[in-house]
């Protein structure tokens, strides 16, 4: 039984405070849906979860262990689907997928690629080079990537962009199968994806004004200084 | 190790399918070298005297020309993000990418160098040492260059910036590379210069992947 949780997460991008004091918890088979207006920090949260960003404060834990402690293990159990499809225009769909399988050390890779291509119904495209794919087909290829190799956590950032209605239903089906196998899914979407009772995390609830946050930080620093001050005097003596 | 070979193979097949880049680097090298006789005049002795320096400077510029594309394409299409997130250590993957870069740009330069040496009327005694020095020097150029290429990710007009960052770091390679050939031409042993170049190569081999990986992670934030 896996347990993925985050506590008291604060995310600072550049000079903008995206969200603060965010906590969540998800167990095997759970789906977490991220909601919020544009810029609320859905992508940032997913990048935090993937380990691409470090939180300003707070911690992300998998089974109680911080993901920052063993990055390789976290990367091995996670599949991240970002805004970009990472498809090379000169390589075929199969060659594009092969690299990601090889990096994960997937056994019997060609068969695994076949299965993934069949699941997304793009097997007929396996020899087509990336430049001839439509944007929906590229998105499907990117989705095929997350089916290759063992994983326990899917982080999907707007997975439905570029997909038609049918593909969205297939995606929902894939998510359901993954959850049935005990996987955890965190996703953000603007259209309704037919996922069974997801936990909804509304990022608008965690937006805090920069001024308030800064005041809070100042307090902490002041306190820290106050505590440090006597000891530095002692050191001087 | 499999990850290293996987990325190396992918980058090589990408370079093969977009062959223009490699050809362009060699063509740039040949054209730049050819400019010098026009500039300094066709006096045979002068050309022979400056040959090693000219070849090294042109090689530096040619190697730099191709740096921008080491990470840029992967950065733009999101592949770099996924490489950062792969279970294989990013340092190893970067080493694979740098090796692919060297095989597609450094190696062709080494092969083209003797031809340019002949054109510049360099004495035959220097040829072997020139090749050895380039064999030691060009991988160091790729490794140092990768740091610069990673640092400019996300910057506009990165190409100019990368030359400003990287060219000063290329100076030691230039000094000892040209020095080794000079020594050989004077009939002295070039061992000392070659050893220093080997040391530079080992140092960059040990340090550059970490520096580059750090810069790449920074670019992902």
| pLDDT per residue as tens digits for the range A26-67 | 988 889 999 888 888 888 899 999 988 888 888 899 988 888
Res. A227 pLDDT band, cuts 50 70 90: low
Query: Is 50 exceeded by the pLDDT of residue A236?
Result: no
pLDDT at position B3: 87
Q: Residues near A13 by Cβ (< 8 Å), separated by ≥ 6?
A: A44
pLDDT of residue A38: 85
Residue A228 lies in a domain: no
Cα–Cα distance between A61 and A6 in angstroms, integer?
6
pLDDT: which is higher, A112 or A230: A112
CB-closest option in A83, A87, A99 to B6: A99
A192, HSE (Cβ side, Cα atoms, 13 Å): 3
Is B88 within 8 Å of A103 when comparing Cβ atoms? yes
| pLDDT > 60? residue A226 | no
Q: What residues 103-162 of chain A have any CB closer than 8 A to a CB of chain B?
A: 103-105
A 43-102 residues with CB < 8 A to B:
50-54, 72-73, 75-76, 78, 80, 82-88, 90-91, 95, 98-100, 102
Q: How far is A97 from chain B (nearest CA, A)?
A: 11
Angle (CA) A171 A28 A84, round 5°:
40
Burial category of B12 from C-beta neighbours within 10 Å (exposed 0-12, middle 13-18, buried 19 and up): middle
Q: Is B86 close to A100, i.e. CB distance below 8 A?
A: yes
Note the pLDDT of residue B209.
96
pLDDT, residue B114, reads 92
- Asked if B81 lies within 8 A of A87 by C-beta distance, the reply is no
- Is residue A42 included in any domain, yes or no? yes
What pLDDT does B94 receive?
A: 95
A70 located within any domain: yes
Q: Which chain A residues are closer than 8 Å to B82 by Cβ?
A: 80, 82, 86, 100
Per-residue pLDDT, B58 = 95
pLDDT at B141: 94
Mean predicted confidence (pLDDT) in B186-190: 90
C-alpha dist (Å) from residue B158 to A38, B29, B65, B154, B214:
29, 21, 11, 8, 18
pLDDT at B19 over 70: yes
Q: Is the pLDDT of residue A210 over 80?
A: no
What does the pLDDT look like over A70-127, one tens digit per residue?
888 999 999 999 888 889 999 999 999 999 999 988 888 899 999 999 988 888 888 8
Residue from B15, B85, B220 to probe the interface with A (highest A Cβ count within 10 Å) = B85
Contact B81 A86 (CB under 8 A): yes
Number of domains in chain A: 1
B32-46, B130-144, B153-167: least confidently modelled range:
B153-167
pLDDT tens for A132-157 read 999 889 999 999 999 998 889 999 99
Position A235 confidence tier, pLDDT thresholds 50, 70, 90: very low
Residue A221's pLDDT is what? Answer: 63
pLDDT for A71 equals: 87
- pLDDT for res B38: 92
User: What number is the ipTM of this complex?
Assistant: 0.84
pLDDT at position A231 is: 46
Q: Which of B5, B13, B71, B82 is most worth mutating to test chain A (most A CB atoms within 10 A of its CB)?
A: B82
Residue A220: is its pLDDT beyond 90?
no
Contacts of A53 in chain B (CB under 8 A): 220-221
Neighbours of A80 (CB within 10 A): 25
Burial of A164 (0-12, 13-18, 19+ CB in 10 A): exposed
The mean of the pLDDT values for chain B is: 91
**Domain range for A28:** 3-206
Report the range of poorest mean pLDDT among A40-49, B130-139, B199-208. A40-49
The answer on pLDDT for B154 being more than 90 is no
Give the gap in angstroms from C-alpha A86 to the nearest C-alpha of chain B.
5
**What CATH number is associated with residue A23?**
3.40.50.300
3-state helix, strand, coil in chain A (%, to 5): 45, 25, 35
Residue A2, pLDDT score: 84
Q: What are the boundaries of each domain within chain B?
A: 2-220
Q: What is the pLDDT of residues A188-202, one digit of tens each?
A: 987 778 888 888 888
Chain A contacts of B2, Cβ < 8 Å?
A: 102, 105
A212 in any annotated domain? no
Q: What is the pLDDT of residue B217?
A: 92
Identify the pLDDT of residue A222. 59
Closest CB from B14, B85, B221 relative to A88: B14
Q: Assess if residue A182 is contained within a domain.
A: yes
Nearest CA in chain A to B90: A72
pLDDT at B215 (0 to 100):
94
**Predicted confidence (pLDDT) at residue A3 exceeds the cutoff of 60:** yes
Inside any domain, residue A171:
yes
């Amino acid at each position: 039984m896996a347990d993925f949780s985050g506590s008291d997460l604060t995310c600072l991008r550049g000079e903008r405070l995206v969200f603060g004091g965010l906590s969540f918890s998800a167990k095997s088979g759970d789906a977490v849906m991220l909601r919020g207006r544009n810029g609320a920090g859905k992508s940032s949260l997913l990048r935090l979860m993937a380990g691409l960003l470090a939180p300003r404060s707070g911690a992300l834990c998998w089974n109680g262990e911080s993901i920052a402690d063993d990055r390789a293990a976290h990367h091995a159990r996670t599949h991240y689907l970002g805004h970009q499809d990472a498809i090379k225009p000169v390589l075929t769909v199969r060659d594009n997928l092969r690299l990601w399988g090889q990096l994960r050390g997937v056994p019997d890779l060609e068969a695994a690629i076949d299965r993934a291509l069949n699941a997304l119904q793009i097997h007929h495209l396996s020899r087509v080079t990336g430049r001839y794919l439509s944007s929906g087909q590229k998105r499907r290829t990117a989705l095929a990537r997350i089916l290759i190799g063992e994983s326990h956590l899917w982080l999907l950032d707007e997975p439905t962009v570029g997909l038609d209605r049918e593909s969205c239903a297939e995606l929902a089906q894939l998510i359901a199968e993954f959850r049935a196998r005990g996987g955890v899914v965190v996703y953000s979407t603007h259209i309704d994806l037919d996922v069974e009772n997801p936990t909804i995390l509304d990022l608008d609830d965690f937006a805090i004004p920069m001024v308030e946050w800064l005041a809070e930080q100042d307090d902490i620093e002041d306190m820290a200084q106050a505590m440090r001050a006597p000891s530095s005097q002692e050191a001087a003596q | 190790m499999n990850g290293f070979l996987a990325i190396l193979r992918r980058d090589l097949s990408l370079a093969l399918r977009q062959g223009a880049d490699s050809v362009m680097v060699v063509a740039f090298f040949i054209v730049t070298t050819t400019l010098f006789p026009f500039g300094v005049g066709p006096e045979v002795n002068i050309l022979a005297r400056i040959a090693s320096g000219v070849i090294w400077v042109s090689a530096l510029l040619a190697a730099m020309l191709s740096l921008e594309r080491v990470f840029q394409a992967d950065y733009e299409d999101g592949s770099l993000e996924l490489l950062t997130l792969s279970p294989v250590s990013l340092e190893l993957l970067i080493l694979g990418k740098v090796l692919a870069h060297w095989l597609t740009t450094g190696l062709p330069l080494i092969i083209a160098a003797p031809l340019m040496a002949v054109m510049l009327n360099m004495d035959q005694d220097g040829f072997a040492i020139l090749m050895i020095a380039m064999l030691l020097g060009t991988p160091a150029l790729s490794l140092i260059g990768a740091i610069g290429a990673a640092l400019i990710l996300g910057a506009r007009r990165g190409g100019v910036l990368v030359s400003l960052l990287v060219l000063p770091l290329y100076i030691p390679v230039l000094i000892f590379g040209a020095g080794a050939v000079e020594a050989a031409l004077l009939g002295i042993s070039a061992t000392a210069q070659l050893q220093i170049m080997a040391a530079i190569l080992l140092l960059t081999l040990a340090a550059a992947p970490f520096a580059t990986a750090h810069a790449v992670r920074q670019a992902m934030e």
